Amino acid sequence: MPENKSSVFRVLDANLNRLREGLRVVEEYCRLVQNDKSFIQLKEIRHLLQRLYPPKLENLCLQARQADADVGNQTFNSSEANRDDSLAVLRAGLKRSQEASRVIEEYAKIINEDAVSRKAKSLRFSLYTLEKKLLVSRSDKVSSWFDGDRDYALYLVVDEAFYHGHGLLTDLEMALIAGVNLLQLRQKRAGDQHFLLRTRQLKILCAEYRLPFIVNDRPDIAFLSAADGLHLGQDDLDIAAARKIVGEEMPIGRSTHSLEQALAAEAEGADYIGFGPVFKTPSKENPDPVVGIEKLREVVSRISLPVVAIGGINHENIALVRDTGTAGIAVIRAILASDDFTRATHDLLTYSR
């Protein structure tokens, strides 16, 4: 039996309305209940909604609307009748929005609106990221980081040598809102005063968004800026010496470029390792040899520590890296060299699933 296109347009119309309504509920919670800057991300998503349906499709959906005949307007179950508090309202709004975006994603395929389907999918994953940010408290994240329950999924290494914009802190804020969940500052060329100033700025920014902040190479700067973690290279201090500066509690990672180095970092007492470069990258003046996907897979299988892949990773190859089972993916240029940090972050998250 041929598909009734009118019914498809009716579904798309109802779910666009549902999505708009759910997002408004979430935005009001963020803006008015919590005074949380996460509502900025909701505004961006709402702007995306304005471009989700092309005008011709939106007009067809409007023509197919049958609000008076909708059997759904006669139902009102007990779960809809009661909300315990504003947090329950937030949860309901998030779920409503996620479900609506999934319906749009699937039904748009029936009428060959592939661009609409892709946008709806990207939007849905943005909502998943936002849900985690809003429902996991800052104290929970800080304690879980120090207790060992750490999330390395999308790890942004900030190296100002690869940033060519005009407002680093603003751009980084957009990346955090879009879904980056761990930030490291790497300064190979800056003087100590600038390094310390920048670490303190980024520590404040990460704390505002309830995310851990890591300092590269310098245990003294990590200590002075009250960073949440330290990351050491192969030529940096050994971990025992670094702990005399930062203390026993601060998590410490180690960059590695071979299985032997990874095993040595594990024996040394590292909390996690970075492994790479997985692909060719210009992010270092004297880069180490490319390790490739299979070496990464071997290290992941042989090392008990969380392994964070790094080196030349972008939205085109991130899925290959994720398939190795790595605990996280670190990027530099994939975001820092982009003209749009929000879109670059969304692309990495979308293509890594």
Q: Which residues are catalytic?
A: 186, 255, 284
Are residues 246 and 252 in contact, defined by beta-carbon separation less than 8 angstroms? Answer: yes
Which residues have a Cβ under 8 Å from the Cβ of 34 and sit 6 or more positions away? none
Residue 97, SS3 per DSSP: helix
The 10 Å Cβ neighbour count of residue 217 is 21
Which residues have a Cβ under 8 Å from the Cβ of 127 and sit 6 or more positions away? 45, 94, 97, 98, 101
Encoding tokens for residue 256? 């590695």
Helix or strand (DSSP H, E) at 305: none
Tell me which amino acid residue 84 is. D
Instruction: Give the C-alpha separation, 52 to 48, whole Å.
Output: 6
Which residues have a Cβ under 8 Å from the Cβ of 189 and sit 6 or more positions away? 161
- Report the candidate in 273, 261, 259 with the shortest Cα–Cα distance to residue 307: 273
Tell me which amino acid residue 43 is. K
